[in-house]
Amino acid sequence: MSLNVNEIRSQFPILQRETATGARVVYLDSTATSQKPLAVIEAMNDYYRRSNANIHRGVHTLAEEATALYEEARVKVANFIHAPHPQQIIYTRNTTESINLVAYTWGRANLKMGDLVILTEMEHHSNLVPWHMLQAERDIRLEFIPVRADFTLDLDAYRALLEQGPKLVSFTHMSNVLGTINPAREIIRLAHDVGAVTVVDGAQSVPHFAVDVQDLDADFLGFSAHKMCGPTGIGALYGKMDLLDEMPPFLGGGDMIKEVKLRSFRPNTLPHKFEAGTPAIAEAVGFGAAVDYLLSVGMDAIAEHEHQITEYALDRLEEIPGVKLFGPTADKKGGVAAFTLDGVHPHDVAQILDRDGVAVRAGHHCAQPLHEKFGIPATSRASFYLYNTKDEVDMLVNGIYKVKELFG
């Protein structure tokens, strides 16, 4: 299965522009956020032009249309990850908020002093800090599945941790630095064997390959629209029905209630119980359009394309003297290539590449503990999506040779 990259690129207006130096935009930063196709931009534009109104509260035509669009998008998002029911999709602002929602509601209702939560050493700060905050409040215990020398998780160490009877296992499906795709189904099965609840950080998996929550048997899964061709400001939390049903609400206010008295309230049914206040309506419409768009290209075709680009990028980057790559072999990872270049700070690498329009990210990529483990403050990171080409990888590689020349 192959995809027509030229055709795809033509649907992303931003890829047609030039930078201030007249260079073509070579966007290798989709792990941070993806670009948006016309289908998404136009869906949001149409919404504001034709249907804008507040949802769930009006009987007039526009309110009904806006509500229908908002809820239709939820159905699309639910189907995209094979959720049994759209009620199991809670709109959030992003993956970060999805994980915070679980920590805040499920965590506070179910975790007490001394309870064990297992995370991994390769987590994004979004899947660390919410648990740190809960630890400060509840004195829960945190343990971490180590990352091995081959940049994969040490599952033997995980099995040993499971013997301590964790209440929760929360882990990233795919690392945003190493690109490592973790064996989510197995991690979840082992957690369930000891009665632990699981949270999957799907920020980097859901945009890049087909994810089926029923097949994974995930209890919770969070992801962000902006990383999957959709807008910023909206994401989703999937949860198993019984868990979501039992959880107390997150934020309080309009829409999340069934009834309010001066001194009390009754929460609404799912999913509204977790969606207080006027939500990101146009963004939900854009989220739905992004899902339609990705499905029209085909998730397997996208994954295969990214695999080919990544394999090529790793081969070419490996050839460059002084480049050290962080991450497993291409067969175990998604479209991310984090690297250091001897004697040059990663920020300098990124800045010099930018002169030729090559956009990569430099820093700790919100995974400071992982970088600390490797004894480095930062890496440069190129990341790939459905619109990237081998030609762009060549531009990255040529750019790195230029950096080497500049730094002698």
Nearer to ligand PLP, 233 or 254 (CB): 233
Nearer to ligand PLP, 316 or 361 (CB): 361
The whole-angstrom separation of Cα 341 and Cα 321 is 8
Q: Report the residue from 11, 95, 120, 383 that binds ligand PLP according to the rule CB under 6 A.
A: 95
The whole-angstrom separation of Cα 179 and Cα 169 is 20
The whole-angstrom separation of Cα 145 and Cα 166 is 12
From the list 90-98, 158-166, 371-379, 397-405, the region that binds ligand PLP by CB under 6 A is 90-98
96 binds ligand PLP (CB under 6 A): yes
Contacts 24+ apart (CB under 8 A), 78-81: 78/238, 79/291, 80/206, 80/291, 80/294, 80/295, 81/202, 81/206, 81/211, 81/212, 81/213, 81/221, 81/223, 81/238
Choice among 366, 374, 376, 389 that is catalytic: 366
Can you tell me whether residue 145 is helix, strand or coil? strand
Per the CB < 8 A criterion, the answer to whether 118 and 196 are in contact is yes
Place of tokens 């201030």: 20
Nearer to ligand PLP, 51 or 176 (CB): 176
The whole-angstrom separation of Cα 114 and Cα 7 is 55
CB of 175 to ligand PLP, least distance (A): 7
CB of 100 to ligand PLP, least distance (A): 9
Please state, in angstroms and as integers, the Cα–Cα distance from residue 246 to each residue in 243, 253, 267, following that order.
5, 19, 11
The whole-angstrom separation of Cα 264 and Cα 392 is 58
Q: How many CA atoms lie within 13 A of 198 on its CB side?
A: 27
How many chain residues interact with ligand PLP (CB under 6 A)?
A: 12
170 binds ligand PLP (CB under 6 A): no
Nearer to ligand PLP, 67 or 94 (CB): 94
268 binds ligand PLP (CB under 6 A): no
CB of 172 to ligand PLP, least distance (A): 5
The whole-angstrom separation of Cα 276 and Cα 252 is 6
Residues 185 to 214 in contact with ligand PLP, rule: CB under 6 A: 201, 203-204
Residues 121 to 140 in contact with ligand PLP, rule: CB under 6 A: 124, 126
Q: Report the residue from 88, 120, 172, 340 that binds ligand PLP according to the rule CB under 6 A.
A: 172
From the list 38-46, 61-69, 88-96, 302-310, the region that binds ligand PLP by CB under 6 A is 88-96
From the list 92-100, 307-315, 374-382, 393-401, the region that binds ligand PLP by CB under 6 A is 92-100
Cis status, amide bond into 346, omega within 30 of 0 = no
Nearer to ligand PLP, 320 or 366 (CB): 366
Angle value at C-alpha 301, between 296 and 302, nearest 5 degrees: 85
Nearer to ligand PLP, 51 or 170 (CB): 170
Per the CB < 8 A criterion, the answer to whether 365 and 33 are in contact is no
Q: Is 229 a catalytic residue?
A: no
Longest dimension (CA), the chain: 72
Nearer to ligand PLP, 267 or 369 (CB): 369
CB of 120 to ligand PLP, least distance (A): 11
Q: Report the residue from 30, 120, 176, 268 that binds ligand PLP according to the rule CB under 6 A.
A: 176
Hey, which residues are catalytic here?
Answer: 366
Positions touching ligand PLP (CB under 6 A) are: 31, 94-96, 124, 126, 172, 176, 201, 203-204, 224
